[in-house]
Amino acid sequence: MLEKCRNAKERWGGVSTIIDHWLEERQQLISTFVSLPSQEVGAPLNSSVGEFCDLLMDYLSSGHFEVYEQLLREGSEFADGSLEQAQHIFPQIQPSTDKALDFNDAYGTLNTPTLQQLCQLSRDLSDLGETLEERFALEDQLIEILHNAHKDLVDAT
């Protein structure tokens, strides 16, 4: 997952400040995510899970309220079918948003977890990791369709 993030940043880095910032947020989110299993039970884990949830909510918000809007605006400026193509991807992203919000609701304020919660956390992290990987691939498609397809045209103006 981390390698895919680096590849996306190399591929699209520098073409848009908002996208660059968003990909940096993604990389920080992934780094925090992969460090969670190595955390000790107790305060360090609670703090790390809370930090991860904060990063997750920031990442989702940036995507929905900044990046997607910019990409849609850019795609609407060109009558080449890219906007219609991208609009098929947005509904596929929503289930991952719902799953991330559910994870945040369950673990965002984890204080003193029970053994059952710790076992469930492990399973939920695994599920969320798979979901995020799928989400990142869909978001990369959006960038490709709505931004990179027009990059040369935008740069020429």
Angle among Cα 33, 36, 38 to the nearest 5 degrees reads 140
Question: What is the predicted pLDDT for the residue at 3?
Answer: 62
pLDDT for 8 equals: 56
pLDDT single digits (tens) 139-153? 999 888 877 655 555
Overall average pLDDT of the 105-120 stretch: 82
* Contact yes or no for 142/68 (Cβ under 8 A): yes
What pLDDT is recorded for position 14? 44
User: Each residue of 33-87: pLDDT tens digit?
Assistant: 998 877 666 666 778 889 999 999 999 999 999 888 888 877 777 667 778 888 8
Mean pLDDT taken over the chain: 82
Q: What is the pLDDT of residue 103?
A: 96
Instruction: Please give the Cα distance from 92 to 114 (Å, whole number).
Output: 34
pTM here is 0.81
- pLDDT confidence of residue 125: 93
3 state DSSP class of 77: coil
Over residues 86-101, the pLDDT tens digits come to 889 999 999 999 999 9
Closest CA to 107 of 117, 97, 96, 119: 117
Cβ-contact 151, 15 below 8 angstroms: yes
Average pLDDT for 118-137? 93
Distance CA 156, CA 1 (A): 34
